[in-house]
Chains A and B, each alone.
Chain A
Amino acid sequence: MARIIVVTSGKGGVGKTTTSAAIAMGLAKKGHKTVVIDLDVGLRNLDLIMGCERRVVYDFINVINGEASVNQALIRDKNCNLLYILPASQTRDKDALSQEGVGRVLEELSEDFKYIVCDSPAGIEKGANLALYFADDAFVVTNPEISSVRDSDRMLGILSSKSRRAERNEEPVKEYLLMTRYDASRVKSGEMLSLDDVQEILSLELLGIIPESKSVLTASNQGVPVILNDKSEAGQAYADVVARYLGEKVPHRFIDSKKGFLRKLFGGRS
């Protein structure tokens, strides 16, 4: 049985798709057969970030409606042969999704894959609710600013009451915090919420901090998940996240700008 990871946030533009692409790639690179699904029907983005937009023939909605088989719609990633992408439809909207249909497709994928990463749309409407309904693990992507934190909190509430695990009274969805677009120097000057502020409000296990980095935008525009750029801080941070998720003990980095710099110095010397 596959583990279903939903990447969610409530608020838009915080880095859900970037994160989905990065961790799916990271898991595949670690040798786990992984599929990443775009559930943002109508606003298809994941294929762009993954750089496979020119190879989309069938999409998730086609599969749900029985117009294509899962295998016809899956696109194999060009960088890693253990990673597959199931794109969203650009021409339809979220009403085309049905709980039963999504469940059926996920079940079919479960037989073949180790991890299923679902890129959730923003908002708390049908698409987002469907994405989190089937979750085993939830990566809550949050920016260090108050409205993003509030929305994440709301999302966590929905997760704990509306997920399939909650409905069936099973072990609750495992929730992790992923702080993205973190700028340590702006935190220091008080312009951004600090990690402690966010942790105090959300009280969640921190899976990682992704520093604000120019490499993210570059990677998105090139269609190469940022995790493949091991020179960029964001890429390294995502690699840490994947390692931590898989149970490795990796210390947190990029929390403090000074520390990061010192550590770099030490790293260079030793």
Chain B
Amino acid sequence: MSIDPQRKSYTPPVLEFKSSTFFVPVLILYSHDVHLIEQSLHEKISQAPDFFKNSPLIFDVQGLNKENNEFDVAALIEILRKIGLFPIGIRGGNEQQNDQAQALFIPVDAVRSNESVETQESAAANIEPEPETTESPPKADMAVAAPIAVPTPTTIPTTLISHPIRSGQRIYAAGDLIVMSPVSAGAEIMAEGNIHVYNTLRGRALAGVQGNKKSRIFCSDLQAELISIAGDYKTSEDLNDNVRKKPVQIYLQDRALIIKDIA
């Protein structure tokens, strides 16, 4: 084996297979109503058209199948493509759905990690009250299996912006958002994670827009029109003078928006 790469160096290889990890959004479906799905997709996408434009996507029907609802995978794929997304995989489908997807050249995700975690967890929940000692070794196994699967909640890269965000512009970050330049009044910055503004924040800043209550907003000069974390917001009017024009952090505590000096 050790000689092999040396040999290869004499004749440059034509191709190579490598393993690589990608971040791909997963669309988790809770409704089997195709029209409803289409409608809410349109709504979501209109919030951040650039972000979703030509985005690859894996759709997850695991939840649907638990409820044993009939679901037309072909119709969903058609909707996704029509809307400008590229479905590249199905997850958690039953045999019929997987066949349907494969017929449309959509690969089937093995789901090992996720499915196993879910099933094992539910199994563990069932098992635990039982006092049988023979069950404990597999339990230990599960404990090992779970941490391996934990990283799968995709870590989305941070978005960095260094040009001024002008009035009327909107920025949407799927992860954290860092802005080095001023955010003008009338501009809107949104992030599913935290927002950092190392400059004056005059526009609207919305962190945790998908409901992450642990997200925070940091800025070095707070003059915002509106700040929001996971839907809880304050407008400029509600900011009192000891935080205005100061470097602050903003976080959520018991559904109350706390604005505090960083220093």
Spell out A's residues near B (CB within 8 Å).
150-151, 153-154, 156-158, 160-161, 200-201, 203
Contacts and interface: CB of A to CB of B under 8 A. Distances in A.
Interface stretch (B81-89, B137-145, B166-174, B204-212): B166-174
Nearest to B186: A150
B163 A153 contact: no
Contacts of A157: 165-169, 184, 187
Contacts of B167: 150-151, 153-154, 157
A160 B202 contact: no
Nearest to A200: B200
Contacts of B187: 157
B164 interface: yes
Of A150, A151, A200, most buried by chain B (CB within 10 Å of CB) is A150
Is chain A's interface secondary structure helix, strand, loop, or mixed overall? helix
B182 A156 contact: no
Contact of A203 (B168, B182, B185, B186): B182
Contacts of A203: 164, 181-182
Contacts of A161: 169
A146 B168 CA distance: 15
Contacts of A201: 182, 184-185, 202
A61 to B, nearest CB: 29
A154 B182 contact: no
Contacts, number: 36
A156 B186 contact: no
A156 B166 contact: yes
Interface of B: 163-169, 181-182, 184-187, 200, 202
Contacts of B181: 203
Those 10 A-B pairs whose CB atoms lie nearest each other, nearest first: A157-B166, A153-B167, A154-B167, A157-B169, A154-B168, A153-B184, A156-B166, A153-B166, A157-B168, A150-B167
Contacts of A200: 200
A230 B184 CA distance: 37
A151 B166 CA distance: 10
B16 to A, nearest CB: 31
14 contacts: A150-B167, A151-B167, A153-B167, A153-B186, A154-B168, A154-B186, A156-B164, A157-B167, A157-B187, A160-B163, A160-B166, A201-B202, A203-B164, A203-B181
A153 B202 CA distance: 12
A30 B14 CA distance: 61
B168 A158 contact: yes
B120 to A, nearest CB: 48
Nearest to A161: B169
Nearest to B164: A203
Contacts of A154: 166-168, 186
A151 B167 CA distance: 8
A157 B169 CA distance: 6
Contact of A150 (B165, B182, B185): B185
Contacts of B184: 153, 157, 201
Contacts of B165: 157
A150 B164 CA distance: 14
A195 to B, nearest CB: 17
Contacts of B169: 157, 161
